[in-house]
A and B are shown apart, each in its own frame.
Chain A
Amino acid sequence: MRNKNKVIIYIVLVIMSFIMLVPFAWMVLTAFKTVGESTQMDPFVIFPSHWRVDNFVKVVHNVNFGRLYFNTIAMIALRVLCAVLTSTIAGYAFARLQFKGRDLMFALVLFQMMIPSQIFIIPQYVMVSKLGWTNSLLGLLFPGMVSAFGTFLLRQAYLGLPKELEEAARLDGCNIGQTFLFIMAPLTKSSMVALGIFTAVFAYKDLMWPMIVCPDTNKTTLASALSKMQGQFSSNYPELMAAALIACLPMIVIYVIFQKQFIEGIATSGGKL
């Protein structure tokens, strides 16, 4: 009985893994095919006859991937840095300091978390245009300069630390800034990492904001540039798949190497969203 259950479980898991992997495999296989091979139906071609790199050469020639990578990585790095920095100090203050106006301000943080983000986009775009930040890195960073969710997450982390630590630091003559920097902040490193990963994944996946704020194909992110390529290469699927693969592969490789941190980061932060 138990063994039979185990077998069923493994069969389900293997079938699901297959379903999850087929689109990725098809992306890779198509990227190495010629257009002829990709549209041949009788017989249907699964593996390319030769593993050609022509499609990759062609899209790299047509699209400035180096530039797109730079824009994407710079945007992610800036957003992660800003979100972690501002959320960590604000989270500490909301969790551990008593001051007038605190609860009202925290109510604003919670309120922001409940509002769908599209509500903010038109005014944010108007601000970015007025500042002259369209088609720039600052424009890409703009809505991610602070994080209500990150503040909430870090506040939770500080609430979970014992009070005695701060008392001891205070008796040793540390002021609040020193207590935070040397005693408390190092203890919430794992929450900061979780927030960083969470911010990075969602910044990488963001499509609408970069499309609006950086329409210039050289100034935008990978995600938004891909959406334009679809029109550019119309129905040349081998080339489209090569482009998609170039855009996805580095993130996937990083994820596979650090999968434990990725998944734990998402589990601890996503679960509190």
Chain B
Amino acid sequence: MGNKKKITNRQKSEFIWGWLFILPTMVGLIVLNIIPIFQTIYQSFFKTGDFGKGNIFVGGANYAKVFADTEVWQALWNTLKYAVVEVPISIIISLVLAVFLNGKIKCKITFRTIFFLPMVAAPAAIAMVWRWLYNSEFGLLNHILPGKTNWISNPKIAIYSIAIIGIWSIIGYNMVLFLAGLQEVPRDYYEAAAIDGATGVQQFFSLTIPLISPTIFFVLVTRVIAAMQVFDVIYMVIDNNNPALMKTQSLVCLFYKYSFTQSNKGYGATVVVVLLVVIMFFTVLQMIGQKKWVHYN
């Protein structure tokens, strides 16, 4: 009898403390995030009146407009192009660097510190420097490289120039995650492989990649999500009168433009809902695809 009462007391106290402890977080999440999700979806069925005033219900008209809007389609295409270049190249480079730094290397800390450096610089500052490097008349790149390339004003190549900035910025971050994954791989695996006469390249493909495939998968999924949300660099590097604007602006750039520059929040909300659907599509696709190549042991 006494024993039973003790348990209920304990349960009661866990209930009270539990809710007390999660309350600030849950109130915050519900007010700041969960309700806004529905508000944004709701907003996407409304047209914002002139001068950003008033909300007029328009049903699916915003969605109909999005599907017919070549600027949105072009922005989706720009975003995909950026992601398709930035994500795989940055992952390959950072994986190779991580494997190199995981071995017995002098100045390991120095190299690691240097590669990670762009992560602690404000993206606005990074974008400014790259813009200066890319400057077609006085830029360092055109001075070193042959020819006169309009890196960020040629609509054909500007999005790739932007992707280079993205790659440069994120290599260190990915590398640090890969290094953490590599540290969990037992050393004797490599020793056994070395005795069997496997070269470094063979070890990389037959041992390293399968063993850290969960980390690679994780980085891939999170990087694709982040790349689909690219904004800072494009916003900073591409001016409104840049001839490459149409061929570089991403979906989030459009979202920003509609919602906050033109204060047409209804259409901005529609664009961001489309972005959500696109991101979910690619995430689910990768979740299905992982079964083919990711090994959890």
Binding site for B on A (CB under 8 A): 5, 9-10, 12-13, 16-17, 19-24, 26-27, 30, 38-39, 41, 44, 85-87, 89-90, 92-94, 97-102, 105, 108-109, 111-112, 114-127, 142-143, 145-148, 151, 175-177, 180, 201, 204-205, 207-208, 212, 222-224, 226-227, 230, 237, 240-241, 244-245, 247-248, 251-252, 254-256, 259-260, 262-263, 266-268, 270-271, 273
Q: List the 3 shortest-distance A-B pairs measured between CB atoms, nearest first.
A: A146-B28, A123-B36, A99-B18
A-B contact pairs, 25 of them (CB 8 A): A10-B105, A12-B97, A16-B93, A22-B140, A27-B129, A44-B143, A90-B21, A93-B17, A98-B18, A99-B11, A112-B34, A118-B252, A122-B36, A123-B39, A143-B32, A146-B32, A205-B232, A212-B260, A223-B123, A227-B124, A230-B124, A237-B138, A244-B129, A255-B117, A266-B176
CB pair B28 A93 closer than 8 Å: no
CB pair A5 B168 closer than 8 Å: no
Per DSSP, are chain A's interface residues mostly helix, strand or loop, or mixed?
helix
CB pair B100 A267 closer than 8 Å: no
Contact of B130 among A20, A23, A121 (CB under 8 A): A23
Per DSSP, are chain B's interface residues mostly helix, strand or loop, or mixed?
helix
Interface string of B90-133 (1 = CB under 8 A from A): 00010011001101010001011111111111111110111011
Within 8 Å CB of B269, what residues of A? 122
* Contact A267/B179 with A124-B32, A240-B132 known, Cβ cut-off 8 Å: yes
* CB of B177 within 8 Å of the partner chain: yes
* Contact A86/B28 with A97-B17, A207-B124, A223-B123 known, Cβ cut-off 8 Å: yes
Within 8 Å CB of A176, what residues of B? 13-14, 17
CB pair A9 B100 closer than 8 Å: yes
* Contact A99/B122 with A252-B117, A266-B176, A271-B215 known, Cβ cut-off 8 Å: no
CB pair A123 B22 closer than 8 Å: no
CB pair B115 A119 closer than 8 Å: no
Within 8 Å CB of A12, what residues of B? 96-97, 100
Across the interface, name the chain B residue whose C-beta is closest to A90.
B25
**Complex alpha-carbon distance, A201 and B118, angstroms:** 11
Within 8 Å CB of A247, what residues of B? 122, 124-125
* Contact A120/B11 with A93-B22, A146-B25, A266-B173 known, Cβ cut-off 8 Å: no
**Complex alpha-carbon distance, A143 and B31, angstroms:** 10
CB pair B120 A262 closer than 8 Å: yes
CB pair A223 B122 closer than 8 Å: yes
Contact of B225 among A23, A98, A116, A205 (CB under 8 A): A116
* CB of B265 within 8 Å of the partner chain: yes
**Complex alpha-carbon distance, A13 and B200, angstroms:** 16
CB pair A271 B128 closer than 8 Å: no
How many pairs of residues, A versus B, come closer than 8 Å at their CB atoms? Answer: 274
Across the interface, name the chain A residue whose C-beta is closest to B201.
A5
Within 8 Å CB of A85, what residues of B? 24
Within 8 Å CB of B143, what residues of A? 41, 44
* Contact A251/B120 with A116-B229, A145-B28 known, Cβ cut-off 8 Å: yes
Identify which of B67-75, B81-89, B271-279 touches chain A.
Answer: B271-279
Within 8 Å CB of B17, what residues of A? 93, 97, 175-177, 180
Within 8 Å CB of B189, what residues of A? none
CB pair A244 B37 closer than 8 Å: no
* Contact A100/B40 with A86-B24, A268-B180 known, Cβ cut-off 8 Å: no
CB pair A115 B114 closer than 8 Å: no
Within 8 Å CB of B185, what residues of A? none
CB pair B111 A30 closer than 8 Å: no
CB pair B124 A118 closer than 8 Å: no
* Contact A116/B275 with A23-B129, A94-B22, A241-B132 known, Cβ cut-off 8 Å: yes
* Contact A122/B259 with A13-B97, A205-B123, A263-B176 known, Cβ cut-off 8 Å: yes
CB pair B122 A226 closer than 8 Å: yes
Contact of A13 among B15, B100, B236 (CB under 8 A): B100
**Complex alpha-carbon distance, A247 and B115, angstroms:** 20
* CB of B222 within 8 Å of the partner chain: yes
**Complex alpha-carbon distance, A151 and B34, angstroms:** 16
CB pair B122 A204 closer than 8 Å: yes
Within 8 Å CB of A124, what residues of B? 32, 36
